Structure formats: C-alpha cells, structure tokens
Amino acid sequence: MPSPPWFYSGDLLTVEYRTDPARVADLLPAPLSLAEEDPGAVAMIWADWQSCSSSRKELLDPVQSQYKEAFVVVRCSYKGQTFSRCVFIWVDKDFAIGRGLHQGYPKKLGSMWQTRPHAFPQASPSIAPGGMFGASLAAGDRRLADAVVTLREESPTNGFVNANKMAHHRVFPNIDGPGDAFSELISSGAAEFEGGQAWTGDAELNLYDSPNEELTSLPVQEVIGGYFQQIGVKWNGGTSLERLDG
Amino acid sequence: MPSPPWFYSGDLLTVEYRTDPARVADLLPAPLSLAEEDPGAVAMIWADWQSCSSSRKELLDPVQSQYKEAFVVVRCSYKGQTFSRCVFIWVDKDFAIGRGLHQGYPKKLGSMWQTRPHAFPQASPSIAPGGMFGASLAAGDRRLADAVVTLREESPTNGFVNANKMAHHRVFPNIDGPGDAFSELISSGAAEFEGGQAWTGDAELNLYDSPNEELTSLPVQEVIGGYFQQIGVKWNGGTSLERLDG
Amino acid sequence: MPSPPWFYSGDLLTVEYRTDPARVADLLPAPLSLAEEDPGAVAMIWADWQSCSSSRKELLDPVQSQYKEAFVVVRCSYKGQTFSRCVFIWVDKDFAIGRGLHQGYPKKLGSMWQTRPHAFPQASPSIAPGGMFGASLAAGDRRLADAVVTLREESPTNGFVNANKMAHHRVFPNIDGPGDAFSELISSGAAEFEGGQAWTGDAELNLYDSPNEELTSLPVQEVIGGYFQQIGVKWNGGTSLERLDG
Amino acid sequence: MPSPPWFYSGDLLTVEYRTDPARVADLLPAPLSLAEEDPGAVAMIWADWQSCSSSRKELLDPVQSQYKEAFVVVRCSYKGQTFSRCVFIWVDKDFAIGRGLHQGYPKKLGSMWQTRPHAFPQASPSIAPGGMFGASLAAGDRRLADAVVTLREESPTNGFVNANKMAHHRVFPNIDGPGDAFSELISSGAAEFEGGQAWTGDAELNLYDSPNEELTSLPVQEVIGGYFQQIGVKWNGGTSLERLDG
C-alpha cells in the first residue's frame, strides 16, 4: 500500500441525531470523556469515494480507487479539547481497511449504497430543494441501517459532529494472552479540504438490530438534520497524543 | 420486476475500433448481414448507471438502482437498414440481467469499474482537455479488458457504432433437444434521450484471452477514438421484426 | 454456455412447512391448480453445489463450477398429475441463472450460506444425531430467511414437497406491450439421481419481510420437519407440456 | 471479534515449488535470514474453511463462519531455529482479516476457489488416485494464480514448507511520519491439530503478473509436488519473540 498522502474526491450524505449520552460514554475508552456540549450528538455518514495516492495511478484502474463507506461519529473530550471520533465503520475495499488501520478507524467490511446526483434527472435527484437521496448499509447479509434525506436549502455547514479533528486508538492485543502489546491515542484531520455548497434537509434514519453488530447501541432519540456535500480531501498523517500501553 | 418504461442516468466511456469484418460476420446470425459501410467497426462501452421504474422508488434504496455494465456493439444490416447490435455484455446486478432478457441483451455477470468525474479534482479527472478516464472488465475472476481514454476536445457525437436502433434476438431453446422453441428478431431504441456535451480523445484498449469468453474474437486492429458523455434515457419497449422459429 | 446434460454434486438442507393453501394457489398460474393432498405444503431448500457440463472442465476452474442457491417449492396439479414447482429461487452465479432460464426457474441473485459437514469437528457439525446445520438467504442487502436444522435420526426420504417432477413456465413478454410473445409449460426432472442417507430433525425457519420480495407471501403456519441429504444428479432436458401463447 | 481460541475445519490444497533463494531472502526482514536447508522452497496453499470461536455460534449463521484463503509460505531462520512464514495472503471475509492482524498475517482481500471432494462423483473428484483438484486466486479483478493437482498416492506428509511454527511481524507505522510506532516478531502454531490422510500427486501452478501484487516475485523454477489434506485446528495465541521498535 502506498504511503500517505492519500487523496479523496467524494460525496457525503449525513444524518445527525441525538442519543442518550450514557450510550456514547460507553463507547469512549480512557482517557476520553464525553464532550461538554451536546454530548449525545451522533452523525451517521455515507461516503462514495474516489481515492488515490500521490502517483494518481489508481485513478486509471478504478477498481483500486473507488470505494464506499458508512460510519458513525461521536464527539469526545481529551485534555479539555473536543475531538470527533469514529466508533463504527464499514467499507467495501481492502485498501480502505488498510488505510483505516493506519488512521485508527475500526473498519469492517459492509455493503453500502447511496443515491448519486447526476447531470440528467431521468433516474437521479438534483442537488436542489426537494432532491431525495437514499442510503443503506448491510453487513453479514443483514441490513443494519437505511436513510432518506430530502434537501430543503443551502446550509452554512455539513453538520457539526464530524467537524473536529479525530481522536482514535490504535491497538495490538498481546499475542500471548489478555492485554495490549501496543495502544496509542492519535489525532488526525484533513491536511487539505475543499467543499462544495452544503445542503440540509429533513432526514429519516432507521437502525436495525443484528446479533453481530453494536450499531443499535446508539438509538435515534431525535433527528437533528440531514446534509449533503461534495468534497475533496488530502490526508497526510497525524499526531500521537499518548501511549497507553506499558 | 416492474414493467417498462425504465429510466437511466449515467456516464458512458466508449472506445471505438476496427476489427476484421469477417469476425463481425461470424457473430451475426441470419437474417442479419454485415453493415455496408465500415463493417468492421466495433464499440466497447462502459456505462455507470442509476436506473429506476416509473415509481422512482428504486432511487431511494439505491442497491436496487445503481449498476455498471460493459458491452460490445457492432453494426449490421437487416432488409437494407443499418442497426446496432450488442454482441457481448456484462452487468453487475440481477435486475439488469432481467431487463436485458426482455430487450434481447445476452447479459452475463461481470465486474466493471470506470473512473468518475467529480466536482473536486483531488482524486478525479476533469471533463476537460487532458482528463484521463480508465475502465476495466472482469468475469470468472479474469480480467477481460481495460482501457484508458484521454480527453482532447469536444465532439459532435459520442461515436457512431452504437448510434442506430438495436437489432437483437430473443431465444428459448427447446426443452427436449436441439433447436429453438422460440426465436424472434426485435428492434428497440431510446424512447427519450438527453445527452450532455460529448468529448473525444485518444484511447488505449486491451482485450485479454479467457477460456470462457469470446471477447478476443473481435481483436483491435485500429483504434478509431475514445469518447465520454453523460446521458439520460427512457426505454419503453420496441418492435418485433420477425419470428424465426417454426 | 454448454448444452445439457448438466451434472451436480451437492448438499441439500430442507425445511418443510405448511402455509395457507390459498397463498399457494395465488402463485399457480393457469392451467395449474392446487395439489389434492396437503396443498399448503412448502419446502424451503438450501443447496451447496458443484456442477459441470459433460466436458467436466469446469471442475478444474471451480469459479465456473461452484454455486449456492436457496429456493421455495410447492406442489400443484396439472391434468390430474401432481408436480413440484419452484416459485422463488436465488442463486449466486450467472451460469446458474442461465441454466435456470432454460429450465424455467425464475432465478434471481442472492447471497446464501449453509453449514457444511466436514471430516473434522473442530468447526463443523457431524451428520449424526444432534448435528446442527444453519442457513441464511439475503438479497438486496436484506436478510430474507434463515433456518437451523438439528438432526435427530435417519429418514427414509428427504421430504415430499420437492419429490415430484417440476412443472415450470417459460415466458417471454411481448417487446411492444402487455402480453406474452411466448409462454410454455414444461416439465423436467433428474435424468439420473444418487442420494446418500437422508436425515431428519427439528427445524426453525424465519422468513423476513422485504419491500422487494414475495417470500413472506407463504408464511410458516406449522413446521413439518428438517432434512439433510447429499446427492449427485444429472439433468438432461424435459418435456413441453403445453404452449400457452397465441 | 471474539477472542481466541479460534477453531477451524477445512481442506488444504498445496503446491510446493522451488524459486531462487535470493528472491525469498528479499522478503525476509531483519532479524530473519534464509533457512539453511532448501532455502528456495515455497508453498502456495489454498484453504476452504469453516471456523468459529468457543461459543460455536458462528456455525449456525455460516456467513460468519465460512471463508476461503490462498497464501504463500516460505521458511526462514531465527536464532538458529527454522520457522515457516506467510509472505502473501488473500482471504474473502473481514473476520479473517481481523484474526490475521492479531496473528501477523498480511491479509488482503481476494477471490479464491478450490475444487471440493464430495460423496457423489457426478460433479466432483474423489480423494483417490487420479482425483483432480483445481484452484484459482484473483485480486483487483485480475487472476493472480491457478493450479491443478492430480492425486497419485497417499503421502506421509502434507508437504514440509508450512510444517514449522510461523514467525510473523506485527507492525504499526508511525502516525506522524516514516518508521514504526510498534514492531514485534511473534511466533505461533496450532494449539491442537488433527489431520486426515494426506495425498500427494502431480501439480501445475501458474502465477500471473499484476501491477499491484508481488506474487510473481517468487517465480516457479521447479515444482516439488502437490498435496491435499483435510484438517481440524485449534489456534490459541503465540509467543512474542522480540520487540523491534525503539
């Protein structure tokens, strides 16, 4: 796998909602604690990506470049600073799992689909008031979530839950028993970011139980809103905040 | 499967080339014969589709709506009229196979990928001079074809090989031995068509041998050109040209 | 696709149950009617196949040979004779769809899994009392069914619902509007059949609603039993019972 | 993911061959060196697994239990002891990637197929003289390898290249630049092992170039032999040999 920097062009479909903050706290290992403001806020995000390394050669063999993902982000506090944190994430390509290991994303495989805007409306919504975008997530041959966002108006933001730097753990369990051989808290964010006009609107989000997944441990109490934005990103490493092993 | 009409929004990446006309003739069953002009012309086309029925409900559960395909088109003559004809086609969803049976496309499953344009260039080509688009086709865990098209300039057409009405056979073999219980020659085309600005440019196309496929029976002798166009289409049935059984 | 005969070696996991006979009748087009005895009996069958044509070459490139399927069988009456009939079927390879078209099976794509017996029990049930076999079916990224069969004893049969010759329709809709260009009722069965010792036992079967599927139109009212058998089959065509078009 | 122990029942199809020892040495990071005897020996192994944790619950939802893999093993020397080492491995499920991270296997996604023996020979080889087993490996929509093994006779072993304890690196790159935040050499082997009668025979192995893979960096100079064996395994952790970072 080529080393960073890594480059991404893609579309984000986001539903933000509130859950019981105690359920968020259950997912925050030490030394993280709940964010001070709106601690029960959650973002469920679908992303439809094209990506590449510095050589850009993956773009000409797009089986190496395109992938989809769905992920759940909460916020947390570390030494008085608010971070975003991905608590669940599913992707559909192994290169995305590999990059995610580097970045501390706990990636699993899933099947994700998200409606695309297109220049012609015969079988596509428009990025305009009334434009309807659907999305689904499945893993283990079970549907885990689906959503519909109906655009209403332009928005100054693409939501707030995924708007901070990420704080992630990177962990290797011991090979010879319980405990961790390596555990590190790291932070990272986009080295460069360009975003198109964000849109907001009404959102429905359904989460479905699965015996193998924890997604419904963050049930929807109140939908905050839905968002759509097209973005371009460069990621180029992060910072080690703290070693937690030994 | 919902009945026609069916609606499509998508991007076409096309490479047109010439092969030995005798190889095209080998793929034209009676009563079809070679086209009079440029009879060895072939188009290999990748398409990245969103599609739906009249209800448009598939667009909100996009696993039912999005699919990719790669197909090979030649031209032929029937009663003095020139038709296009799809001789090989691979898709990645079963609803596309089902529609294809109705339309006389000999669809098989494959894995297709094609570079997408995007609003942000971090990991995307632009629809502009120098924009490079790649594509690949695999089936049976073997790569069958890949291509790169480098856009040069706007084009008055998206090529000519796939520009006629389609002439396709629809066949059921006998259940109790050789021969056909049903065989019909039909024609169809788009009931409505909208196309964006087409682009043309330089193209490379590689076809790879497979013991299970006939794609290399139409080898590339001379590349004519590459094309990129975004389109919207409505398909709503066709015409029976001739019954060929019994 | 090579012509018949086609050969199969595989394992069948079956759950037989009763539903309201009126729901079965809804799925029987003319000239078929309900079977006289036990007309609400249904078999849901998972099959894990290796298959080949007469050349047997597919066996050496097993991506061309192995496939899984799940299907639902009812019985029906035609001119006083009882037939089996597959009303729903999902497979995971296109060559299985192609053969199914020939045979009148209404095949769609799905994802099927079924526990395998193995010579070593570390991660496998035994074909013996207490052996537990699970199975699941998904399509459109939704789970449609799952089952567990716990073997109890050897059985003289592998169930009765799928034990007759099949009566299937083969249909092409008109290309230019409603109605059928071709419709034929055919029957077929195994040209050769070898079966190992069948086992029966307790069974659980769950069917799940999906907006795109009709599987729950045959709800489980009473489980009859579960079955497991390993078989070898040769299929070599069938008989046209009746032309129904024109 | 449940913690170890993990249990496996499955079939191994192995082709052993010799390559230039210098090419093996290129793949052995410090502190490992070439094995003293037959240092260019390589095993390419296909495995068709059913697996579970101690609860055995995965066996009743077999999408969580069954997976396939193909991997390449060489031998190496560490402090005077000979170890086996997996240098390339592809799997088709994410739980197998997750376990592999724990065990130090550099797992990527691929598509693997391998002929299965079955109780009935209609579409299956027998585990007997003349039985022919095929296998293939693809990744990135390119075929990387395929093989055919023709059984000749019972064998006292299933080969020798994969017969030692494994020596693997477990590595996390630094989040903020070159170098490793964590690097550990570990060893592990089966905690329990049961094997059926091994068979040996003639083997063909083809490795295909891919711009994204290094498999052909170990070209086949001389085939040693082919093997088939059914096994049951328990894996329950290993031993840290050496910390290599900082």
Q: How many percent of chain B have pLDDT more than 70? A: 100
Interchain proximity C238–B176, CB inside 8 Å: yes
CB A184 within 8 Å of CB D173: no
Question: In chain C, which residues have their Cβ closer than 8 Å to the Cβ of B240?
Answer: 174-176, 181
DSSP track, B217-237: GS--SEEEEEEEEEEEEEEEE
Residue of D92, D166, D182, D188 to mutate, testing the A interface (most A Cβ within 10 Å of its Cβ): D182
pLDDT at C1: 84
C-alpha dist (Å) from residue B174 to C182, C185, C242: 12, 12, 13
Nearest CB neighbour to B123, from listed A52, A119, A146: A52
Among B8, B52, B61, the residue with its CB nearest the CB of A136 is B61
With an 8 Å Cβ cutoff, are C122 and D230 in contact?
no
Q: Is A130 exposed, middle or buried (0-12, 13-18, 19+ CB in 10 A)?
A: exposed
- Give the percent of chain A with pLDDT over 70: 100
Which residues fall within 8 angstroms of residue D146, CB to CB, at 6 or more apart? Answer: C61, D134, D135, D136, D137, D205, D206
Would the CB atoms of A111 and C143 count as touching at under 8 Å?
A: no
Does B173 sit within 8 Å of C170, measured CB to CB? no
**pLDDT score, position B1:** 84
Q: Which of the residues A111, A136, A141 would you substitute to probe the C interface, choosing the one with the greatest number of C C-beta atoms within 10 Å?
A: A141
A111-127 pLDDT tens trace: 999 999 999 999 999 99
Whether residue A167 contacts residue A238, with contact meaning beta carbons closer than 8 Å, is answered with: no
Contacts of B55 in chain A (CB under 8 A): none
Q: Helices then strands (H, E): number in chain C?
A: 2, 13
- The token pair at A52 is 């590449």
Would you call B61 and C184 a contact, using CB atoms and an 8 Å cutoff?
A: no
ipTM over cut 0.85: yes
Average pLDDT, chain D: 97
Alpha-carbon gap: D75 to the closest alpha carbon of chain B (Å):
30
* pLDDT (average), residues B131-139: 98
Across the range B101-129, mean pLDDT stands at: 96
- Whether the CB of B1 is below 8 Å from some CB of chain C: the reply is no
Q: Tokens 């440029």, residue?
A: B38
Is B79's pLDDT higher than 90?
Answer: yes
Contact present, C192 and B179 (Cβ < 8 Å): no
The three-state secondary structure class of A62 is helix
Grouping H, G, I as helix, E, B as strand and the rest as coil, residue D220 is coil
Residue A92 CA, distance from chain mean position: 13
SS3 state at A136: strand
Confidence of residue B69 (pLDDT cuts 50, 70, 90): very high
Q: What pLDDT was estimated at residue D1? A: 84
Q: Is B15 on the interface with A (CB under 8 A)?
A: no
Cα D170 to Cα A1, A168, D38, D175, D182, distances in angstroms? 16, 19, 26, 16, 8
Looking at beta carbons, which residues of chain A come within 8 Å of B59?
Answer: 115, 123-125, 132, 134
Q: Give the distance from residue C170's alpha carbon to the nearest chain B alpha carbon, in angstroms.
A: 8
Region D22-50: mean pLDDT is 98
**pLDDT tens by residue, A220-239:** 999 999 999 999 999 999 99
Give the type of residue at A171: V
What local confidence, expressed as pLDDT, does residue B108 receive? 95
Mean pLDDT of B53-58: 97
With tokens 């079924």, the residue in question is C114
Note the pLDDT tens digit of each residue in D118-145: 999 999 999 999 999 999 999 999 999 9
Q: Do D108 and A94 touch (CB under 8 A)?
A: yes
Asked if B28 and B59 count as a contact pair (C-beta separation under 8 A), the reply is no
Three-state DSSP class for residue A169: strand
> C202 to chain D, minimum CA–CA distance in Å?
14
Contact B73, B43 (CB under 8 A): yes
Residues of chain C scoring pLDDT < 70: none
Q: Tell if the CB–CB gap between A173 and D109 is shorter than 8 Å.
A: no
Residue B108: both structure tokens together: 């098989």
Q: Which of D141, D144, D206 to mutate to test the interface with B (most CBs of B within 10 A)?
A: D141
Inter-chain residue contact D238 with A212, CB threshold 8 Å: no
Residues in chain B closer than 8 A to C94 (CB atoms): 97, 108-109
Single-letter amino acid code for the residue at B99: R
Q: Does C209 touch chain D (CB under 8 A)?
A: no
pLDDT at residue D246 tops 90: no
A96 CB neighbours in chain B (<8 A) are none
Which of A227, A215, A217, A220 lies closest to A17, judged by CA? A220
Say how far residue D15 (Cα) sits from the centre of its chain. Answer: 11
Distance between CA atoms of B162 and B142, rounded to whole angstroms? 26
B190-211 pLDDT, tens digit each? 999 999 999 999 999 999 999 9
Task: Please report where in the chains the tokens 């592999």 appear, as a residue.
Answer: D100
What is the arithmetic mean of pLDDT over D88-96?
96
Mutate to test the interface with B, among A53, A55, A118 (most CBs of B within 10 A): A118
For residue B187, give how far its alpha carbon lies from the nearest alpha carbon of chain D (Å).
Answer: 34
Q: Of all helices (H) and strands (E), which one includes residue C238?
A: strand C222-243
Q: Which residues of A touch C138 (CB under 8 A)?
A: 138, 141-142
Which chain D positions have a beta carbon within 8 Å of A94's beta carbon?
97, 108-109
Give the burial string for C50-79 (b: 16+ CB within 10 Å, else e).
bbbbeeeebbbbbbbbbbbbbbbbbbbbbe
Q: What are the chain B neighbours of C61 within 8 Å (beta carbons)? A: 140, 211-212
Between chain B and chain C, the number of residue pairs with CB atoms below 8 A apart is: 90
Query: A touches which chains (3+ CB pairs under 8 A)?
Result: B, C, D
D160 touches chain B (CB under 8 A): no
Say whether B120 and A231 touch across the interface (CB within 8 A): yes
Give pLDDT, residue D206.
Answer: 98
Judge: C239–B212 Cβ closer than 8 Å, yes or no. no
Residues A65, A51 contacting (CB under 8 angstroms): yes
**Any chain B CB within 8 A of the CB of A150?**
no
Task: State the SS3 of B134-165.
Answer: EEEEEECCEEEEEEEEEEEEEECCCCCCCCCC
pLDDT band at B217 (very low <50, low <70, confident <90, very high): very high
B46: pLDDT confidence band, cut at 50, 70 and 90?
very high
Q: pLDDT at position A147, please? A: 98
Cross-chain CB nearest to A143 (options C111, C136, C142): C142
B vs D, Cβ pairs < 8 A, gives 17
Q: Which of B113, B136, B141, B146 to mutate to test the interface with D (most CBs of D within 10 A)?
A: B141
- Residue D10 has a pLDDT of 98
Q: Do residue A234 and residue B62 have CB atoms under 8 angstroms apart?
A: no
Tell me the average pLDDT across A90-105: 95
Predicted pLDDT at A1: 84
Confidence of residue A27 (pLDDT cuts 50, 70, 90): very high
Look at C122 and D192 and tell me if their CB atoms are within 8 Å.
yes
pLDDT digits (tens, 9 = 90+) for D187-222: 999 999 999 999 999 999 999 999 999 999 999 999
Whether the CB-CB separation of B23 and B39 falls below 8 Å is answered with: no
Which chain C residues in 58-97 lie under 8 Å from chain B, judged by CB atoms?
61, 63-64, 93-94, 97
Helix (H) or strand (E) holding B101: helix B94-103
**Across residues D11-39, what is the average pLDDT?**
98
Mean pLDDT of chain B: 97
Q: Determine the distance from the C-alpha atom of residue D151 to the mean position of all C-alpha atoms in its chain, rounded to a whole number.
A: 20
Assess whether pLDDT exceeds 80 at residue B246: no
Q: Could you tell me the two tokens for D226? A: 């082919």
| CB spacing of C134 vs D62 below 8 angstroms | yes
